[in-house]
Chains A and B, each alone.
Chain A
């Protein structure tokens, strides 16, 4: 090691489910690596931490995995986990979790116990205490400075690639905490969405339909294209309001804000509140019969024409291509397959 003094120590709270580490954890590690002269630990809270801690130890760039095993940690209940994480905090300058529903639920509760506000949705690290984060649903970017005694933050997973795999695993240390835990919150059940299609929020590819689909039946051509691509399905608010699809498919500021690798908008004109929900997609494709539609202002690839003719052709071309190259549609989850571990 070179002589740079270690000024910062970051603790990443691992996200996991069904014995699998979520890739969001390795993305948080990547984010923490951008803090100058930092050591990084990963905390695994679980009833049975063994397998998850072993996976966390394989993430490059970490000093050690801290394993906190208690039966009460079987489910990620914020009220139960937060006091334990707060108890670990004195050894650290930074506590980071992913900006997934897991981290968004947990980290503010930790921050409040420590008496600081949180830096939400870190998209870039400028220095140990200076971060960039999106506001107004990504319509503006704020540079914020943490001036409290500790930095508590959530990491925007769309902004960071996962840290690489380690050549040799980091050590795992078990920590016994005597923290008193509340009994007022109980996990009951978890139901997974309809299997077969990726989750809209985390999918690498999304195909969305708008009012121009004109009926619920017509969404079938969209579903077939989505399946050919291994994509999730979304919709504009207009399509939801018209009753073509359920409202949990709504993409936009008041629906889901997503950042897939590929977003295909079919018959969506591009109202401001919809564009707000997709502007972080890496590639946006728009197919619309109105060449003047605002969606074309943000589209990387635009195609003006009749979607009822184009979409089946596109589906056939994609299917021919995937069969030809031997690639599987489910590869579409790569590289951002952050959702896959929690879907099993």
Chain B
């Protein structure tokens, strides 16, 4: 069985203007629209396209998160994943712990590919894929903008600061997605109905047998970013040039 494991994280929707809680304990998530992390949607879309080309048999969408992450997994099933696993946790796990949970899922399901988003748009850590690859002792290709499978290997084009870089990696491997990899499909109503009948297993790190590492980071407080000073208005192009010169940016 040629499987692909796709990571799905429940995050505050990208269109929401996030607000920091007055007590500094985090950001407001009550009553806020939650969605699949956009980079994870791209990961799932890529897996679906690989299956549509006949290069994979089964796509498992996995999430490590709260009970409500079942909503995002249902969406993933509606997009086309074959089944889903929620590894339910009370408090969010840090990236290394998530990587350990994913490693256990990898051991049990033996996928050829694990495709994850390059980062989640909530805590912006950008660590989990690389950590899973390290623990699994397998190749990683991060920030992928093109993925071509070829027998026992993959040719991956990566978006790096200097341009594009191409790697040849053996499988199994971990891929993390960048924006240019694809444009995720929209979910159609009949697919939402069909998704209700697809299997969604709920488990826990302990029931799974995942070894969780000791916590290594702690968030002490969350604050709003410093506000920008109020700007000035200018009337025309020459005033604009003068204002830029005054600020020393020309």
Binding site for B on A (CB under 8 A): 17, 77-79, 82, 100-102, 104-106, 108-113, 115-121, 130, 134-148, 182, 184-193, 199, 201-202, 205, 247-248, 250, 253-255, 261-262, 271-273, 279, 282-285, 287, 296, 298-305, 310, 313-314, 317-318, 321, 339, 342-343
Let me know if A254 and B130 touch, CB within 8 A. no
Let me know if B15 and A108 touch, CB within 8 A. no
Report the separation of the CA atoms of residues A22 and B135 in the bound assembly, to the nearest whole angstrom.
29
B124 on the interface (CB 8 Å rule)? yes
Question: Given that A146-B216, A314-B237 are contacting pairs, would A104 and B124 also be in contact in the complex, using a CB cutoff of 8 Å?
Answer: no
Let me know if A342 and B225 touch, CB within 8 A. no
CB contacts (< 8 Å) of A104 on chain B: these are: 126, 142-143
Question: Contacting chain A: which of B44-52, B78-86, B241-249?
Answer: B241-249
Let me know if B225 and A138 touch, CB within 8 A. yes
Question: Contacting chain A: which of B58-66, B91-99, B186-194?
Answer: B91-99
Q: How far is the CB of B216 from chain A (nearest CB, A)?
A: 3
Contacts A101-B159, A115-B216, A318-B241 known; list 15 others, CB within 8 Å.
Answer: A79-B133, A101-B142, A115-B96, A118-B95, A137-B124, A142-B221, A146-B217, A148-B217, A185-B167, A192-B163, A201-B161, A262-B249, A271-B15, A272-B16, A285-B240
B38 on the interface (CB 8 Å rule)? yes
Question: Given that A135-B124, A255-B179 are contacting pairs, would A314 and B241 also be in contact in the complex, using a CB cutoff of 8 Å?
Answer: yes
Let me know if B133 and A109 touch, CB within 8 A. yes
CB contacts (< 8 Å) of B54 on chain A: these are: none
Let me know if B96 and A117 touch, CB within 8 A. yes
Q: How far is the CB of A25 from chain B (nearest CB, A)?
A: 14
Let me know if B179 and A247 touch, CB within 8 A. yes
CB contacts (< 8 Å) of B217 on chain A: these are: 116-117, 119, 144-148
CB contacts (< 8 Å) of B1 on chain A: these are: none
By beta carbon, the residue of chain A nearest B13 is: A273
Number of B residues contacting the other chain (C-beta, 8 Å)? Answer: 84
Report the separation of the CA atoms of residues A120 and B180 in the bound assembly, to the nearest whole angstrom.
23
Let me know if B134 and A135 touch, CB within 8 A. no
Let me know if B134 and A112 touch, CB within 8 A. yes
CB contacts (< 8 Å) of A116 on chain B: these are: 96, 213, 216-217
Question: Given that A145-B220, A147-B215 are contacting pairs, would A261 and B249 also be in contact in the complex, using a CB cutoff of 8 Å?
Answer: yes
Let me know if A301 and B240 touch, CB within 8 A. yes
By beta carbon, the residue of chain B nearest A229 is: B250
CB contacts (< 8 Å) of B163 on chain A: these are: 190-193, 199
Q: Mark B206-250, 1 if CB is under 8 A from A, else 0.
A: 000000011111111111110011011111111111011101011
CB contacts (< 8 Å) of B134 on chain A: these are: 82, 108-110, 112-113
Report the separation of the CA atoms of residues A67 and B250 in the bound assembly, to the nearest whole angstrom.
39
Report the separation of the CA atoms of residues A170 and B154 in the bound assembly, to the nearest whole angstrom.
42
Report the separation of the CA atoms of residues A179 and B42 in the bound assembly, to the nearest whole angstrom.
36
Q: How far is the CB of B78 from chain A (nearest CB, A)?
A: 21
CB contacts (< 8 Å) of B224 on chain A: these are: 139-141
CB contacts (< 8 Å) of A201 on chain B: these are: 161
B57 on the interface (CB 8 Å rule)? no
CB contacts (< 8 Å) of B104 on chain A: these are: none
By beta carbon, the residue of chain A nearest B24 is: A143
Within 9-63 of B, Cβ neighbours of A (below 8 Å) are at 12, 14-18, 20, 27, 38
